[in-house]
Structure 1
Amino acid sequence: MERITAEELDSTEAVEGVHLSALAAGERMSLQEFRIEPGKDVPTHSHPHEQAGYLVRGELTFVVGEKNGEREEIVLQEGDSYVLPGGEPHAVSNDGDETAVGIDVFAPPRTDPDWKD
């Protein structure tokens, strides 16, 4: 077993007000913590990894399906979980009053995401 302690975490501000921390990673999946400040967003992007997540605190609005010209907004509340297929364009915004905090799981592992650059 490999243990990653809280002291070892390295948070990166990927875009203004969006803080990401790479957590544990195995051969088939990886974990990431996110913190998105009120009024901040993650621009539309995609990656080949399947992404499943859990919203620990706050509220987020996902915009998905833009690659086919269709656009769907999905509002997540604290305690909701979600899954996005690999390659699915998506954007996220925090329109609430508190910092949104959650955990994402990526498969295959996303051990070298572009936000670390």
Structure 2
Amino acid sequence: MKPVEFDDAETYEPDEGWRRVAMAGSDRFSFEWFEKPPGHSSPMHDHENEQVCLCLDGELTVRTEDEATTLERFDSVWLDAWESHAVENTADERAVGLDVFAPGRSFDFWTDREDE
């Protein structure tokens, strides 16, 4: 067993107000808790990992090239590997979510990105 205390977990902020926290995981899967300020959107992106995005509080809109869905508290969406997507907080309040990735991934995905 490898417990992870939230306050001691590795944390990073890819953009101002967009905080991500690495929770328990392995190279086969990883969990990242995140918060987004109102109006914040990740850029459209894709990755080798399948992803489940679970909305814990607030409202998140997940867009792909073909469609969009708005998640409210405890709603989730599954994204296939290499499926281009963006996650946006479309509400006036902070949104909180949990991303699950398989296989697991490190923070390098966002910290080492080059802005276009």
What TM bracket, shorter-length normalisation?
0.7 to 0.9
Q: How far is the alpha carbon of 1:93 from its aligned partner?
A: 1.2
Gaps of at least 5 residues in structure 1 are: none
- Deviation per CA, 1:29-69, whole angstroms, max 9, x where unpaired? 111011011111111011100001211100011111x2xxx
**TM-score, with normalisation over the residues of structure 1?**
0.87
Taking the aligned partners of 1:90 and 1:15, their CA distance within structure 2 comes to 17
Superposition pairs for residues 72-83 of structure 1, below 5 Å?
72-83=67-78
What letter corresponds to residue 23 of structure 1 in structure 2?
M
- Deviation per CA, 1:62-115, whole angstroms, max 9, x where unpaired? 111x2xxxx312111111011100100001111101111011111011134322
- Percent identity between the aligned chains? 39
SS at match of 1:44: coil
**TM-score, with normalisation over the residues of structure 2?**
0.87
What is the aligned residue count?
Answer: 112
RMSD: 1.4
Which of the residues 75, 87, 91 maps onto 1:96?
91
More strand by percentage: 1
Taking the aligned partners of 1:35 and 1:112, their CA distance within structure 2 comes to 15
Which consecutive aligned stretches of 4+ in structure 1 deviate over 3 angstroms post-superposition? none
